[in-house]
């Protein structure tokens, strides 16, 4: 498995927010306990000053009333109320607003009102060249489902996960306060700390090569900062699987044992790979890049007089 330096991940997310890297469909997943709208608005905040020349920002609203985003102060924002429009009229409206030669940012505040069967046909025409579509999909709380869907269709969220090139899932901060009253309550109750402007997020970006990069961040809308969380990992081509995840997938798959025992894992970790020495440096701690480390063995035939024999 190939590993990236973890420091690249926050840079990548910042570049995505500033539209310096293109991701055609950014999917934001949220729950009633932590809204993704602050993160959606961060796209506007980062791009409202004209850092991308001629950028068009279009806000497609299904649940945000007109006028309620005035406080952001983005004069170039084109607001479209969609809650009375058919899908075709929304597509026509977006196409009529877009200028073909300009970069555009299309923000969609909720996919909750789009039926699972119509999701792909609704989303696809909005994904356009030189355009980034950022859409929020609401996840229900555990044990709850959102709008009823057909039993035979895949879940709306599952379909979206296949389409999206970047997936960002929002969580409340870990210190969210759930006390005994919350657990004993017979009513729907949001814990204190829900829907804060400071939250945690998990990020997964699928590169064109198919490789996925993922990481965790702390996000603060009030200061517009992203803080990288050290538990970030880089996933392989499978899009997010880790070693433990692989073992889980292989378990009970066949009658053969495809997993790795603890003893085998320890043995594998103790194998000394030849190129690792070249990275460790000499006694002074200086790393010599590209050095060839070769140790002679008994069977090696070494002729001191032959200049071409000297590997150094």
Partner 1 sequence: MSKLPDLLRVFDGAYLPRSRNHPQLLLITSALSTSSSWLLQHFVRASITNQPGSLYETDRVPQKRPVVFVSFSHDIDFHSRCFRKAGIDLNALIAQKQLIYVDGFTKLFVASPNEEKSVVYLQSANKSGWLNQIMSAIVEFKAGDLLPTLIFEGLDILHALGIMNVEEILRFVQDMQEHSGISIASSNSANRMLTGMSTLAEEQRAYLHALVRRAVAVFSIRPLSTGMAEDVTGAIRITNGGQPCDGRGIVEEGEFHYFLADGNVGGVKVFQKGHG
Residue 84 lies near partner 1 (rule: CB under 8 A): yes
- Residue nearer to partner 1 on the CB measure, 89 or 251: 89
Site string for partner 1, 5-34 (x = CB under 8 A): -------------------------x-x--
Residue 193 lies near partner 1 (rule: CB under 8 A): yes
Report how far residue 67's alpha carbon sits from residue 60's, in angstroms, rounded to the nearest whole number. 13
55: burial class by Cβ within 10 Å (0-12, 13-18, 19+)? middle
Could you say which of 47, 105, 138, 235 contacts partner 1 (CB under 8 A)?
A: 138
- Residue nearer to partner 1 on the CB measure, 101 or 181: 181
Which residue's structure tokens are 């994904």?
Answer: 127
Residues 6+ apart with CB under 8 A from 72: 41, 44, 45, 48
Residue 190 lies near partner 1 (rule: CB under 8 A): yes
Residue 205 lies near partner 1 (rule: CB under 8 A): no
Site residues for partner 1, 148-187, by CB under 8 A, read 148, 180-181, 184-187
CB of 86 to partner 1, least distance (A): 13
Helix (H, G, I), strand (E, B) or coil at 218: strand
- Residue nearer to partner 1 on the CB measure, 147 or 293: 147
Residue 189: C-alpha distances to residues 170, 176, 180, 184, 198 (Å): 19, 13, 12, 10, 20
Whether the Cβ atoms of residue 168 and residue 29 lie closer than 8 Å to each other: yes
Whether the Cβ atoms of residue 117 and residue 84 lie closer than 8 Å to each other: no
Extract long-range pairs of 237-240: CB within 8 Å, 24+ residues apart: 237/210, 237/211, 237/212, 238/212, 239/204, 239/206, 239/212, 240/204, 240/212, 240/214
Could you say which of 98, 112, 161, 163 contacts partner 1 (CB under 8 A)?
A: 112
Residue 88 lies near partner 1 (rule: CB under 8 A): no
Could you say which of 37, 169, 200, 205 contacts partner 1 (CB under 8 A)?
A: 37
Whether the Cβ atoms of residue 38 and residue 199 lie closer than 8 Å to each other: yes
- Residue nearer to partner 1 on the CB measure, 188 or 302: 188
Could you say which of 95, 97, 130, 147 contacts partner 1 (CB under 8 A)?
A: 147
Residue 38 lies near partner 1 (rule: CB under 8 A): yes
CB of 194 to partner 1, least distance (A): 5
Residue 65 lies near partner 1 (rule: CB under 8 A): yes
The span of 139-147, 227-235, 260-268, 280-288 binding partner 1 (CB under 8 A) equals 139-147
HSE-CB of 15 using CA atoms within 13 angstroms: 10
Residue 140 lies near partner 1 (rule: CB under 8 A): yes
Residue 192 lies near partner 1 (rule: CB under 8 A): yes
Whether the Cβ atoms of residue 200 and residue 172 lie closer than 8 Å to each other: yes
Report how far residue 71's alpha carbon sits from residue 85's, in angstroms, rounded to the nearest whole number. 25
CB of 45 to partner 1, least distance (A): 9
Binding site for partner 1 (CB under 8 A): 30, 32, 35, 37-38, 41, 63-72, 81, 83-84, 110, 112-113, 138, 140-141, 143-148, 180-181, 184-197, 221-222
């Amino acid at each position: 498995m190939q590993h990236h330096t973890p420091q690249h991940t926050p840079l990548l997310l910042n570049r995505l927010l500033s539209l310096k890297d293109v991701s055609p469909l950014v999917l934001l997943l949220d729950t009633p306990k932590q809204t993704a709208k602050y993160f959606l608005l961060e796209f506007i905040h980062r791009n409202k000053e004209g850092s991308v020349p001629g950028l068009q920002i279009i806000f497609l609203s299904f649940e945000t009333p007109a006028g309620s985003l005035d406080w952001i102060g983005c004069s170039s924002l084109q607001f479209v109320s969609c809650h009375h429009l058919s899908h075709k009229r929304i597509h026509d409206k977006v196409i009529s607003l877009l200028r073909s030669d300009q970069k555009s940012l299309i923000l969609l505040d909720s996919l909750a009102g789009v039926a699972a069967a119509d999701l792909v046909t609704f989303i696809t025409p909005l994904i356009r060249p030189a355009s980034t579509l950022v859409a929020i999909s609401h996840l229900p709380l555990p044990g709850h489902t959102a709008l009823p869907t057909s039993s035979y269709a895949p879940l709306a969220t599952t379909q979206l996960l296949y389409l999206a090139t970047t997936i960002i899932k929002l969580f409340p901060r870990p210190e969210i306060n759930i006390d005994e009253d919350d657990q004993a309550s017979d009513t729907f109750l949001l814990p204190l700390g829900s829907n804060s402007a400071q939250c945690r997020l998990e990020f997964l970006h699928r590169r064109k090569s198919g490789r996925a990069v993922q990481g965790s961040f702390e996000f603060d809308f009030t200061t517009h900062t992203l803080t990288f969380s050290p538990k970030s990992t880089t996933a392989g081509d499978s899009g997010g699987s880790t070693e433990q995840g692989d073992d889980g997938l292989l378990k009970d798959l066949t009658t053969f044992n495809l997993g790795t025992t603890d003893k085998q894992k320890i043995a594998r970790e103790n194998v000394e790979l030849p190129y690792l020495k070249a990275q460790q440096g000499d006694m002074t701690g200086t790393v010599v890049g590209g050095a060839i480390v070769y140790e002679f063995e008994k069977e090696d035939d070494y002729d001191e007089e032959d200049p071409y024999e000297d590997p150094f």
